[in-house]
Amino acid sequence: MFDVTDKDKQQVAAWFQTLRDQICGAFETLEDEASGPLSDRPAGRFKRESWQRDNTDGGGDGGGGVMSIMTGGRVFEKVGVNISTVHGTFSEEFRGQIPGADEDPRFFATGISLVAHMQSPKVPAVHMNTRMITTTKRWFGGGADLNAPLPVAQDTADFHAAFKTCCDRFDPDYFPRFKQWCDDYFFIKHRGHARGEGGIFYDQLNSGNFEQDFAFTKAVCETFRDIYPELVRRHINDTWTDEDRETQLVYRGRYAEFNLLYDRGTTFGLKTGGNVDAILMSLPPEAKWP
């Protein structure tokens, strides 16, 4: 189970790399296409930075990852796409919280995590993250949600419809369950409102059929890869006002509140000594609490 070279683990980790390349390529294409407000600046390009992780059971290789970051583009103000493949041993504190870790605290995790904050308040921000985790159990989890400072009903509807089509190919129960899970999860409790327009969220997915579950996770990622650039294109050349920008900056403040107060990946990552830059890559390039 903990042989990091086993075929399934290698296969999933390699696929996340391929996906990363496809998404980064698609986002750079959007930078090339932009001919609106900030098109006098050079088209943005991703820079990659790899990081290593010490093994949690003390010393030795614990895997690592690669952050792809693009900032100050024509379309993307800050977007990070992080892939990571890590392994180690859960601390006493976390063993009780992770399925299968009470019997044997070793784990292997591979995944992709993406957050895009856009220059234009008219273009929705977005988050996508999927992963496979192996302890004595193995499961997939992840999802994607749309975060529009100035929501457009048709965009929201099309985003949800794309994920419904994707989910329905696997199980008719998936979409209603995973949409609700997303709404419940990305809720800013102290503000009493959602973080954004929602999407889907799922965790501990193990139907008993590994190939099927991996195919579903691939389909979720590919749905994101196809629908999000389409939504960006709809508004890529729209102009915006100072008031729109202010709305966006305040909206991003709420987004930062959610991530720092409630997001399990963020708080878990910071408390378990994860890579700070990779974890906090999700925070907005600029935000306001006026």
> How far is residue 65's CA from residue 275's CA, in Å, rounded to a whole number?
9
Considering 87, 117, 127, 160, which one is annotated as catalytic? 127
Q: Which residues ranging from 18 to 77 are in contact with its own copies (CB under 8 A)?
A: 71
Determine if 109 is a binding residue for its own copies (CB under 8 A): no
Q: Which stretch binds its own copies (CB under 8 A): 1-9, 21-29, 165-173, 186-194?
A: 186-194
Structure tokens at 166: 């994707």
- Residue 189 CB, nearest distance to its own copies (Å)? 8
User: Is 117 considered catalytic here?
Assistant: no
Q: Which is nearer to its own copies, 152 or 260 (CB)?
A: 260
Q: Which stretch binds its own copies (CB under 8 A): 1-9, 46-54, 189-197, 208-216?
A: 189-197
Give the chain's end-to-end CA distance (angstroms, integer). Answer: 51
Q: Which residues lie across from 139 on neighbouring strands?
A: 133
Question: Using CB under 8 A as the criterion, what x/- string covers residues 252-271 for binding its own copies?
Answer: -x--xx--xx-----x--x-
Q: What is the DSSP letter of 73?
A: -
HEC string for 177-235: HHHHHHHHHCEECCCCEECCCEEEEEEEECCCCHHHHHHHHHHHHHHHHHHHHHHHHHH
> How far is residue 119's CA from residue 45's CA, in Å, rounded to a whole number?
15
Interacting residues with its own copies (CB under 8 A): 71, 78, 189-191, 249, 253, 256-257, 260-261, 267, 270, 276, 279-280, 283-290
Catalytic residues: 127
